[in-house]
Structure 1
């Protein structure tokens, strides 16, 4: 397993061990029903529509694996949304203008803010569904870190037509910084059908900065940015899934705007894990 020092940018070393604080890579033997269980890798209750279970929303492929799945015999998982993907926080005030289904680390496996303290690297791979394509006239969040008090996102990875934009990002992934600081663009890359885009996002929660490594397919991750300032305070949880915003939402993105009927869309994920990078290194392959 190759790791890279992100403080000494020219240094590449082999790691003898790896400290993973949350491993969300899905075993090749896993089945959908396991994601409804209390001991699931991901929270069985959040985030999804009230009338559906994750076993209704997830599809698996042991033959379609991403860069960092192969080393642990893991498989990819497709997260889908449909017309019933209406989330109601706490069972009230349903977000009727949004369709969303997102995997979040099971709190039992990520206690004491272990994924959002110190220096951690978030790994994941993502690609569009070939059979359930997104409607890119809409904006989608596909990965984000949401503050524990729900007042904003420290990072947001989006695709589609970003709200208020001209649609130039329809076929791209755009990483944005803290929503409370204006969602400053951090990095952007192509989002292509049939190809996994791999990310490692090094986040220093002490110094409030982020650095991005990225690659495609089976290529090792490559440094794409320097260390960049970004407010990462507030702890919270990572989300991996399809969060589809409405067109022309007006003043309330969650409850006004247009969503067409007959939705069946998905995004494929793999290689999800968070490692401790306090020693200054990050897994590249």
Structure 2
């Protein structure tokens, strides 16, 4: 399930916040570039991938998935299996992850530069 996408630009710092409501099983995304304040870029979206009840609470993963290029020598079935087949390009770029954390937002959501707003004002 894709919540939000944006092209990465060289020399640009990308800031993301994902608001997770574990009880109602919903998600929302805030985004900004460089030193700008975070702003809402999605509505509240049902988190259909989370199980109901205690089993669906607290599971958090963070990462970037780089899909391979199609290898024309692979069969069509192999070309569809991006986990096991394809051509992975060498790395010519770098990614820096900074400030990846989970926080309780009941007392407010930080938009940057000391500005904190109530969750209801963002959602």
Given that 1:197 and 1:217 are in contact with CA atoms closer than 8 Å, whether structure 2 keeps it comes out as yes
Q: Deviations over 1:98-133 (max 9, x none)?
A: xxxxxxxxxxxxxxxxxxxxxxxxxxxxxxxxxxxx
- Structure 2 distance, partners of 1:243, 1:223, is 23
Q: Which residue of 2 is the match for residue 283 of structure 1? A: 110
Check whether the contact 1:205–1:232 (CA below 8 A) recurs between aligned residues. no
Counterparts of residues 44-63 of structure 1 (less than 5 Å): none
Q: Cα offset for 1:220? A: 1.2
Structure 2 unaligned residues grouped into runs of 5+: 51-55, 71-77, 113-123
Instruction: Check if 1:246 corresponds to 2:68.
Output: yes
Which position in structure 1 is the counterpart of 2:88? 259
Q: Residue in 1 aligned with 2:32?
A: 215
RMSD: 2.2
Partner Cα distance (2:26, 2:103) in 1: 16
Which SS does the other structure have where 1:268 is aligned?
Answer: coil
Tell me: CA distance 1:190–1:226, structure 2 relative to 1, closer, same or farther (3 Å): same
1-side partners of 2:83 and 2:67: how far apart? 8
Give unpaired runs (5+ residues) of structure 1.
1-176, 178-184
Counterpart of 1:269 in 2: which secondary structure?
coil
| Structure holding more strand per residue | 1
Report if aligned partners of 1:202, 1:212 keep a CA contact under 8 Å in 2.
yes
Offset of residue 264 of structure 1: 2.6
Residue of 101, 104, 120 corresponding to 1:273: 101
Conserved in 2, the CA contact under 8 Å of 1:222 and 1:284? yes
Shift of 1:195: 0.9
Q: Supply the distance in 1 between the matched residues of 2:102 and 2:65 (Cα, whole angstroms).
A: 21
Q: CA deviation at 1:252?
A: 2.4
Deviation at 1:280, TM superposition (A): 6.3
Residue 258 (structure 1) shift: 2.0
Give TM-score, length-normalised by structure 2: 0.65
Instruction: Give 1:199 deviation, angstroms.
Output: 0.8
1:280 to 1:211, Cα distance in 2 relative to 1, 3 A: farther
Q: Secondary structure at the match of 2:4?
A: strand
Alignment partners' CA distance in 2, 1:207 and 1:284: 23
CA distance 1:255–1:236, shift in 2 (3 Å): same
1:38-187 aligned at under 5 Å gives the runs 177=1, 185-187=2-4
> Normalising by structure 1, what TM-score?
0.31
